[in-house]
Structure 1
Amino acid sequence: VLVTEELGHKAIRAESDDAETELLAHIELQHGEKRLRPPVVTIMGHVDHGKTSLLDALRKTNVVSGEAGGITQHIGAYHVETPKGVISFLDTPGHAAFTAMRARGAKLTDIVVLVVAADDGVMPQTVEAVQHAKAAGVPLIVAVNKIDKSGADSLRVKNDLLAHDVVAEEFGGETQFIEVSAKTGQRIDDLLDAILLQAEVLELRAVDEGRASGMVIESALDKGRGPVATVLVQEGRLLKGDYLVCGVQYGRVRALFDETGSQVDSAGPSIPVQVLGLSGVPDAGDDFVVVADERLAKDVAQQREAKRREWRLVQSAGNRMEDIMAQMGQGEAQQTLNLVVKADVQGSAEALRQALTSLSNDQIRVNLIVSGVGGITESDANSALAAKATIIGFNVRADASARKVIDANNLDLRYFSIIYDVIDQVKQVASGLLGKEVREEIIGTAEVRDVFRSSKFGAIAGCMVIAGVVKRHKPIRVLRDNTVIFEGELESLRRFKENVEEVRNGTECGIGVKAYNDVKPGDQIECFERIEVQRTL
């Protein structure tokens, strides 16, 4: 504006939609030959049916990367290169994978692999996954898992799914059923073949050159690296140095990482990568598009942010009006359950927000006064105190200043690592069906001072117990920067080369974590136990 006026001209501000119009023209200029692309597969199913084990078994089939080597970064997606072709897998909660995508009219997933345990059969979350897939118009492949267990009955699974219009090929339908064992690796190759066969039928194509566009799968604020977004490229090729708009954020791609943590120079269609260099943390489900320069990227992002602020003002005014009307109509009838919800990544925070607010009914309203990414801060604790709210930490912990407020005011703080446990517990509290609950109680914390290597036990952490007592046969979590990076059990607990059952506060010890060798100095090992207590509001 100053330069324009200095040259003797009058500056006229651009119309609010000019940048978006320019962006659309920018995208329409993109054209090229559409080539076959890898399928994008989401694995869904009941929480205990072996979804994670199956993902691990599929990851091991990767003929290129081999062993990932202690990667603890949660990327939310990865791709597998098999001798017959490439497949990309999404590792996200079902509702995060579909709900936001449907709202934008986009389809991120090409195929859903539904995991059903052969010994357990069809469960409520299995049915929910079927409904998500049908609503998105995505074909299903059913992986009947745990066929190595006694009591496995795959025929019962096929019959139960008939009631939900999932008809096996042998019954005259179109759905492939593959019997697998994630534990033994049995018929994992057959499942990969089934996925590639389905992809062949779908004839998935995309332009694999030119400016990239796609969608955010997961995002987080990393202490050392700043905003990190895991994106899936849908068209074009994303390059290091590209300028991009990502929802209301923008930036220049400073670095690209694949799922093993290795830097890459580019990513084509159906390939997931982590992007560094954005101005802020985008939302899971946001579109991204590469543009010619930083000016356009910044203009579009700022206009979108302004529109979002306007929409939020309108929405909050509407919500306040609804509250007043509800109070006028119902008096004291409707109770409010206030929650402060903090999660480790954006996808989890968004999934929890949607799932918990949907629990509201005529009798009770579930109200999230704070919902965000990162550890629980003093500000979060004060918000909970003011609103008499329960604080929920999903794979995150409260910092020291927050703990002071929580302890001084006896606030209700609960930690979780499974999304369905949060929903189930809030549902029970909201329904008034309190009964007894199993709570996790942290009984001890050890700080890793040094790490030694042992041929017998792998990495041995030289620790100082800084709170409570660490017990040999209790479950543990490894925390880095107040964020959970591993959950499991101890392989060994030693004092002066002697195995011991427990180590108390102020005592040094050697800890070996079972099936985990990536412990680093500064990490904390949290020992906890599950106890049954009477639930209270």
Structure 2
Amino acid sequence: QAEVLELKADPKGDPRATVIESSMVAGKGPVATVIVGQGTLKVGQPFICGPYWGKVKALINDRAENIKEVLPGMPCEVIGFSDMPHVGDEVVVMKNERDVKTLSEERLSDIRQKKLTVPRRSTLEHLFASIDDSNKKVLKVVLKCDVQGSVEAIAKCLTDIKSDKCNLDILHKEVGSINESDVLLASASDAIILGFNVKVENKALTTAKRETVQVKLYSIIYELIDQVKESMQGLLDPLTREKVIGHARVKQVFKVNKGFVGGSVVTDGIMNRKQRARVLRDGQAVYDGGFETLRRFQDEVNEVRNGMECGIKLNGFSDYEENDVIECYELEKIAQTL
């Protein structure tokens, strides 16, 4: 459509380019891949990109060749940023280096001021919301990736994980290898470190072992996301559910040296000495606890099956009556979902 309408960029206009990728390269510092939108980008030009300034030290084309200038519509790598630019930021060439530095300082100052802004006053609703959040489990992570595009894509995927029971807190996200400061941050915050297509520096590896910080490295985004979901699910305490496994009816009450025993017959299921039991009288529970003894004749047994008679003594309970129902149940642990 651009060809049909004969749309063309002005190579003599003020140079502007858009960042489509950025990364930290050893020996070069912050490097960004850009596409020139208008004007001609040349080596030596000072520029502003988001809150960061820079001066074009080198331009590299798609054949890894150093070039002197880039025309509109052409991609290239730009070396000379003061810090890592964000994907989507615009590179705008200015007249001199003093102007770009001044503008960069102003923008960075604004960012700092926003971070230091006085928080809003607490209201009752905010306090209740804070209480709810404090009751939730939190998985804290430090994210390091090879390029800025990966950082933003993975951070977006992680924040899109919805859960009413567990929160995900990305403490720090950055491009570059995993270093000692990342490990110390994770150690102080009880966080894990996620690395995507990056390496761990030797010093950071030693510190991670000493501080027992978990460092997980990935090369596939979906594996990273799936394991984070599993980790969040693993933080949740399992739900406890009762499963009734049998009933016994008290036929006669016997007095023994240490209290009373219910002489019973199992009416369904089994009585298991290792599980819990409750005494039901007229449909109401009058006791809930564990087995002290379970006897078949004179022998201590672990379980008694349906139709068999047995003597049941429960921990701390002696108030047996004829026709009481002793319900035996086990507690099942069920993993929660997000």
**Structure 1: how far apart are the matches of 2:128 and 2:4?**
53
Q: Which residue of 2 aligns with 1:226?
A: 29
- 1:213 equivalenced with 2:19 (yes/no): no
Q: Which has the higher contact order (CA 8 A, sep 6+)?
A: 2
Q: Could you tell me which residue of structure 2 aligns to residue 349 of structure 1?
A: 151
> What pairs with 1:181-260 in structure 2 (closer than 5 Å)?
200=3, 204-260=7-63
Question: 1:384: Cα distance to partner?
Answer: 1.2
Instruction: Look up the match of 2:289.
Output: none
Counterpart CA distance in 2 for 1:325 and 1:249 is: 40
Contact 1:376 1:393 in 2 (8 A): yes
Aligned residue identity for 2:114: W
Letter in 2 for 1:329: D
For each residue in 1:363-414, what CA deviation from the matched residue of structure 2 results, as whole angstroms up to 9, or x when unmatched?
2111011211111111111211222212111111221221122223433221
Structure 2 contact 59–76 (Cα < 8 Å) conserved: yes
Mapping of residues 343-422 of structure 1, within 5 Å? 343-422=145-224
CA 1:261–1:323: 2 relative to 1, 3 Å: farther
> Structure 2: how far apart are the matches of 1:325 and 1:233?
51
One-letter amino acid matched to 1:211:
D
Does residue 337 of structure 1 match 2:134?
A: no
- Correspondence 1:272 to 2:79: no
Residues 39 and 71 of structure 2 are in contact (CA less than 8 Å); yes or no, is this contact kept in structure 1?
A: yes
1:396 match: secondary structure: coil
CA distance in 2, matches of 1:201, 1:424: 46
Alignment of 1:293-312 (within 5 A): 293-312=96-115
CA–CA distance in structure 1, aligned partners of residues 235 and 15 of structure 2: 50
Secondary structure of 2:152 counterpart: helix
| Secondary structure of the structure 2 residue equivalent to 1:206 | coil
1:388–1:284 Cα change, 3 Å: same
Q: Which residue of 2 aligns with 1:59?
A: none
Q: Shift in Å at residue 212 of structure 1?
A: 0.9
Residue 425 of structure 1 deviates from its aligned partner by 2.2
**For residues 379 and 324 of structure 1, what CA distance do their matches in structure 2 show?**
34
Residues 349 and 371, structure 1, Cα contact 8 Å, conserved in 2: yes
User: For the Cα contact (< 8 Å) 1:360–1:366, is it kept in 2?
Assistant: no
- Deviation, 1:432, is 4.7
Q: For residues 414 and 401 of structure 1, what CA distance do their matches in structure 2 show? A: 16
After TM superposition, the score normalised by the length of structure 2 is: 0.62
Change (3 A) 1:278 1:424: same
1: CA distance, partners of 2:126 / 2:227: 25
Hey, which bits of structure 1, 4+ residues long, moved more than 3 A?
A: 198-205, 320-327, 431-434
Would you tell me which structure has more strand in proportion to its own residues?
2
Q: Of 126, 129, 137, which residue of structure 2 is paired with 1:326?
A: 129
> 1:426-445 deviations in whole A, cap 9, x for unaligned?
133334599xxxxxxxxxxx
Q: 2: distance between equivalents of 1:381 and 1:260?
A: 37
Q: Distance in 2 between matches of 1:374 and 1:313?
A: 27
In structure 2, the residue matched to 1:110 is: none
**What one-letter code is carried by the residue in structure 1 that aligns with 2:25?**
D
Rounded Cα–Cα distance in structure 1 between residues aligned with 2:191 and 2:87: 26
Structure 2 segments unaligned to the other structure (5+ residues): 237-338
Could you say what secondary structure the match of 2:217 adopts? strand
Q: 2-side partners of 1:202 and 1:291: how far apart?
A: 31
Query: 5+ residue gaps in structure 1?
Result: 1-197, 435-537
Q: Does the 8 Å CA contact 2:177/2:201 hold for their aligned counterparts? A: yes
* Aligned positions, number: 234
Cα gap change, 1:387/1:238 in structure 2, threshold over 3 Å: closer, same or farther? same
Deviation string for 1:327-381 (max 9, x for gaps)?
A: 323552x211100111112221222222212324322111011211111111111
- Give the Cα separation in 1 of the matches to 2:150 and 2:189: 23
- TM-fit CA distance, 1:201: 5.6
Measured in 2, the distance between the counterparts of 1:422 and 1:203 equals: 45
CA distance in 1, matches of 2:49, 2:212: 41
Residues 9-48 of structure 1 correspond to what in structure 2 (within 5 A)?
Answer: none
Q: Measure, in 1, the Cα distance between the counterparts of 2:48 and 2:126.
A: 36
- SS for the counterpart of 1:336 is strand
User: Which is greater in Rg?
Assistant: 2
State percent identity of aligned pairs. 38
